[in-house]
Amino acid sequence: MSRLIIISNRLPVTIDKKHGELFYHPSAGGLATGLASLDASIERLWIGWPGVPIKNAKQKEDIKIDLEKDSLIPVFLSKKDIELYYEGFSNKVIWPHFHYFTQFTTYQDEYWEAYQQVNRAFAEVVIKNVRPNDYVWVHDYQLMLLPGMIREHFPNISIGFFLHIPFPSYEIFRMLPWRKEILKGVLGADQIGFHTFGYMRHFLSAAYRITGHEHQFGKITIENRLINVDVFPMGIDYNKYASTETNLFEEDKTFIIKQLANRQKLIISIDRLDYTKGIPQRIKAFEKFLIENPQYQSKVTFVMIVVPSRSNVDTYSELKNEVDTLVGAINSKYSTFNWSPINYMYRSLTWAELTTLYQVADIAMITPLRDGMNLVAKEYIASKEATKKGVLILSEMAGASNELTDALIVNPQDANDLVAAMIQALEMNEKEQAFRLEKMQKRLKIHTVKSWAENFMKEQMNLMEQQKNQAVKTLNSEDKKALLNAYRNAKNRLLVLDYDGTLMGFQNDPKAVSPDNEVIQILTLLKQDKKNCVIVNSGRDKPVLEEWLGYLDIDFAAGHGVYIKQNGKWSVNPGISNQWKNEIRLVLENVVERTPGTFIEEKEYSLAWHYRQIDKGLGEKRVREFRDVLNYLTANLDLQVLEGNKVIEIKSAGVNKGKALFNWLNGGRYDFIFAIGDDHTDEDIFKALTNEAFTVKVGLEKSDARFHVRKVEEVRQLLNEMTK
């Protein structure tokens, strides 16, 4: 049976050491809640750090035994690991950088080394415990290298990865020195999830620009793997927060309410101490509100909960001092004997205190400068299930703003916007409050943390089935053996070889792909065997092929079949004209003029526009712009528009590589036919041949070829074996 292997930085259980004894208690967080709610029939293992450095070997063994009872497997980290990997690279590099606070990004190789080392330590534990048919689900920014490391050991295992923080734009992400390694690690997963479409879009953009991997509607193909990149917004346990039962003693609940009895309206905010949360900006906006709206003084109280975080880090201690100073200044300026504008608490709340505060608050002001999702906003909405009274002011920079569109959406950096939202919230009538809340509650009831986890796993399982159904037939050792045996036993062979992307890899400059010594040697040896008829069937023009390979005395089909060379003589396909080129060239020249970095390649009977050196998006935009014009012009001129790998080629509609091949098929009898090519123009060759022919596609896209190889190096290896 397949199992679900969950891997996160922290286990759902945290260990504390007191006086040499170990104490276990549940870790807080929505992830544990969501994964605990999955179908109980799915066997689970959870791998992660137990929350405390352990040196003693016996204690480590005891912890393993204790945790194993709950299907938990610890990864033990040293104090130095935590300092360099977690506090260092994770929280001084990835965290600020991915939240757009690049001024706080620390570029230290020591941090990077530790990050790699700890990801490897996790990988070693995973490799010892995973089975080939398991489903693996890796979580968050601390373990972005892990999917790739697992993939190296288990090429066919199903791996999911979810990023719980924002993924930054390409312009921000590209600044990291380790950008390529991070992307390679994440792309080891089969399914990659984000909270919002914006984060997904940024990731796909970075993957293309940095690693060269293109996507089709969020699907990336790498070798024989299909990777699904998608949006899975995380929810909450709605019923838990919707319940009016807080488990708070009545006298304590009464005390909280009494503390707020003198106010008429209550605004709350709840944040971890972090520069991404926009706490100083929010305080300043509240002071601006008091200055510009004195009628609300003594009538509105702002309860601000700030949960301690990383107080030993300079940036955070400076932020704490700033918040303390701002709150103190406002309270000293505006407070009266029975009212303080800001009720500021620097501590954690119990769950009961938290839910009570949600229930009694008139307004929640959740205004981070950047946030992956922000579940506090969703918790506040759920807590209003019974009363249908309350208003949410929400930052447009929080991932939750994509779902909670009936909140008052604000720019957290715009104090005027925040002030206007506070006034709108305070003056909003109960009917509108209920209308907005009900619409948001309806969505949150459906898209819970349970449905988030289930949807992710369902899509990952579907993807694995899709992988099996779409799997192409790669040329394995048995297939290769059969091919080579047929080759050696044959007396009259036809070998049809594409050039670009098959014999030679692609280059930005199409003129810079002249054959290297290995290709020359392969073709020479194949031609020397009198049983072989060797054809290079290419989109390349006649003069280029003649210059590069003409002296080898092999046959050619050039320009997609416009030119044929047999027995040392060139001929042109009858009825082919190039009178159309002047009209089409004007269109292409206009595109080149508007698109620096692109160029026209002119052949005698075709024109090609290359856009390999420019941004993919711009290239596609230009293609869309002139495709209709080209189709209109070419329809009247009996021309064909071919879309290749970053190239558009216009040629006669009456010829193609497959039709050109009949010049040989009609004139000879072959007991062995081999054809190999890499793009859609070579499909015409595969279709022209019978099922007995050995047809091979370079790449793993769907094809009419019988077999597939992954890359040019495998083509050369196969041809070299033929020559022996």
- pLDDT, one tens digit per residue, over 494-507 is 999 999 999 998 77
Q: Which of 336-340, 403-407, 605-609, 699-703 has the lowest mean pLDDT?
A: 699-703
Q: Where are the beta strands (DSSP E) in 118-157?
A: 135-139
Residues sharing a CB contact under 8 Å with residue 545, sequence separation 6 or more, in sequence order: 499, 536, 538, 556, 558
**343 three-class SS:** strand
pLDDT digits (tens, 9 = 90+) for 610-625: 888 887 778 878 888 8
pLDDT digits (tens, 9 = 90+) for 343-401: 999 999 888 889 889 999 999 999 999 999 999 999 999 999 999 999 999 999 999 99
Q: 416 is written with which tokens?
A: 């005027």
Average pLDDT over residues 214-234: 88
User: 114 φ, ψ to 5°?
Assistant: -65, -40
The answer to whether residue 314 scores a pLDDT higher than 80 is no
Q: Which of 5-19, 242-256, 478-492 has the lowest mean pLDDT?
A: 242-256
pLDDT digits (tens, 9 = 90+) for 624-660: 887 777 777 777 777 888 777 788 888 877 788 998 8
The answer to whether residue 510 scores a pLDDT higher than 70 is no
Q: CA Rg, the chain, in Å?
A: 32
**Of 81, 274, 498, 684, which residue is the catalytic one?**
498
Distance of alpha carbon 405 from alpha carbon 383, whole angstroms: 18
The answer to whether residue 313 scores a pLDDT higher than 90 is no
Using the CB atoms, write b or e for 413-447: b if 16+ within 10 Å.
eebebbbebbeebbebeeeebbebbeebbebbeeb
- Scan for tokens 């074996």, then name that residue: 721
- Scan for tokens 């769950």, then name that residue: 351
Q: Which helix (H) or strand (E) holds 253?
A: helix 250-259
Question: Residue 251: pLDDT band by 50, 70, 90 thresholds?
Answer: low
Outline where 56-105 has alpha helix (H): 57-68, 79-81, 95-98
| Pick from 498, 274, 269: nearest CA to 371 | 274
**268 three-class SS:** strand
Q: Which of 140-144, 146-150, 664-668 has the lowest mean pLDDT?
A: 664-668
Q: 463 is written with which tokens?
A: 């993807």
Domains of the chain (ranges; CATH) run 4-231 (3.40.50.2000), 238-441 (3.40.50.2000), 477-575+655-723 (3.40.50.1000), 581-652 (3.30.70.1020)
Average pLDDT over residues 336-346: 92
28: DSSP letter = P
Q: 658 is written with which tokens?
A: 């497959």
Beta-strand relationship, 563-566 and 569-572: antiparallel
Asked if 228 and 459 count as a contact pair (C-beta separation under 8 A), the reply is yes
Question: Residue 513: pLDDT band by 50, 70, 90 thresholds?
Answer: confident
pLDDT digits (tens, 9 = 90+) for 152-161: 999 989 999 9
Q: Which strands make up the sheet holding 639-644, listed edge to edge? A: 599-603, 606-610, 647-652, 639-644
- Average pLDDT of the chain? 90
Active site residue 498: yes
pLDDT digits (tens, 9 = 90+) for 563-589: 999 989 999 877 677 888 888 888 889
Q: Where are the beta strands (DSSP E) in 590-646?
A: 599-603, 606-610, 639-644
Q: What's the pLDDT at 686? A: 95
**488 three-class SS:** helix
Average pLDDT over residues 253-277: 78
